[in-house]
């Protein structure tokens, strides 16, 4: 056993023993989420360089976010930390003339429940369904993340289409859109030192808290954990909005993006006096 492996084992044993010596009531983990974006090649031919530059400046603040995961053994809520908006950007995401915002992700592992409150173009939806399950493959590779010994796991899932891609695909005249990969590899790092099957975003199902996730262009990394916080935990099940399943909500989003893309395309084609 090399020195790094020995250090990992010692850290795992010591921290696990410490947790077992105290009553575990849950914790709060802070994550930094960063998403890369191809600003150079984004935009249609009709967009000026100035328009592309303004768009890139507004998007950069939305591609780096801070989240907190409040968790117990069975429940968790993953929420974005509130921050002051840059003047002129407005709250939430402007969605082709409407609003698009998402609430915290609630997961109940014991009852197999996923729930999230979303606002889409003036309408509130309660997306409630069973948890998304990944077929994790545990790897032997390990590393330290802060003071925690973390182990690697990988999974393959169907690739989600975000609203920007959906809008682009919905434009019938856009011949530059290309088919994206239908699957993506998810790489996660979890620590058995915190023996809960929770994680950031929709990720869960590993024998320890997930500290890091890489999926597509997004990396989520934990940089702080507080076990048994003095102020306690506030984990509430989302309840507001028109109740729909995950599949039903995806259909609604797809339909709305197509409608908005067509309106936008028709609007661009109008000439003076038309």
Domain boundaries, the chain: 3-269
Residue 173 has what pLDDT?
43
Residues 6+ apart with CB under 8 A from 80: 65, 66, 67, 104
Mean pLDDT along residues 37-49: 62
Q: Which residue has the tokens 């849950």?
A: 26
Nearest to 96 by CA among 269, 250, 274, 259: 259
How many whole angstroms from its chain centre is CA 116? 12
Q: Sort 19 into a burial class: Cβ within 10 Å, 0-12 / 13-18 / 19+.
A: middle
Is 78:105 a contact under the CB 8 Å cutoff? yes
Do the Cβ atoms of 151 and 190 come closer than 8 Å?
A: yes
Residues 6+ apart with CB under 8 A from 53: none
**Above 60 in pLDDT, residue 82?**
yes
Which residues, in sequence order, are bridge partners of residue 209?
A: 191
- What is the spatial distance between Cα 71 and Cα 92, in angstroms, rounded to a whole number? 25
| Residue, of 139 and 59, whose pLDDT is higher | 139
More confident residue, 244 or 21: 244
Residue 136: band (very low, low, confident or very high) from pLDDT cuts 50, 70, 90 = very high
pLDDT at res. 70: 97
Residue that the structure tokens 């935990």 belong to: 233
Helix axes 246-269, 163-170, angle to 10 degrees: 50
> Higher pLDDT residue, 170 or 69?
69
Look at residue 58 and tell me whether its pLDDT is greater than 60: yes
Q: Identify the residue with better confidence: 5 or 97.
A: 5
Residue 265 has pLDDT above 80, yes or no: no
Q: Which long-range contacts (CB under 8 A, 24 or more apart) does 268-272 make?
A: 268/46
pTM of the model: 0.77
At 128 the three-state DSSP class reads strand
Question: Torsion angle, CA of 12/15/21/23, rounded to 10 degrees?
Answer: -110
172-223 pLDDT, tens per residue? Answer: 444 344 455 688 999 999 999 999 999 999 999 999 999 999 999 999 999 9
- pLDDT band at residue 96 using 50, 70 and 90 as cut-offs: very low
Instruction: Compute φ and ψ for 52, nearest 5 degrees.
Output: -65, -40
List the structure tokens of 98: 């409407």
Distance (Å, whole) CA 252 – CA 55: 26
């Amino acid at each position: 056993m090399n020195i790094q492996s020995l250090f990992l084992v010692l850290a795992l044993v010591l921290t696990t023993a410490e947790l077992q010596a105290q009553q575990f009531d849950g914790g709060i983990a802070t994550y930094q989420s960063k998403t890369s974006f191809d600003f150079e090649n984004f935009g249609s031919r009709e967009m000026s360089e100035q328009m592309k530059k303004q768009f890139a400046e507004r998007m950069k603040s939305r591609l780096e976010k801070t989240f907190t995961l409040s968790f117990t053994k069975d429940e968790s809520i993953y929420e974005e930390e509130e921050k002051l908006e840059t003047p002129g950007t407005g709250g939430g995401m402007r969605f082709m003339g409407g609003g698009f915002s998402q609430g915290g992700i609630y997961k109940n592992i014991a009852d197999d429940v996923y729930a999230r409150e979303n606002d889409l173009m003036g309408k509130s939806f309660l997306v409630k369904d069973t948890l998304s399950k990944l077929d994790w493959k545990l790897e032997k590779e390990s590393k330290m993340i802060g003071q925690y010994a973390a182990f690697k796991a990988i999974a393959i899932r169907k690739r989600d289409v975000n609203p920007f891609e959906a809008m682009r695909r919905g434009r019938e005249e856009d011949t530059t859109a290309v088919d994206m990969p239908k699957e993506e590899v998810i790489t996660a790092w979890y620590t058995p030192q915190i023996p809960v099957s929770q994680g950031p975003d929709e990720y869960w199902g590993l024998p320890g808290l997930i500290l890091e996730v890489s999926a597509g262009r997004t990396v989520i990394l934990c940089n702080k954990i507080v076990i048994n916080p003095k102020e306690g935990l506030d984990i509430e099940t989302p309840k507001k909005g028109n109740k729909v399943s995950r599949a039903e909500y995806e259909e609604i989003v797809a339909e709305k993006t197509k409608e908005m893309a067509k309106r936008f395309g028709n609007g661009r084609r109008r000439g003076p006096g038309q």
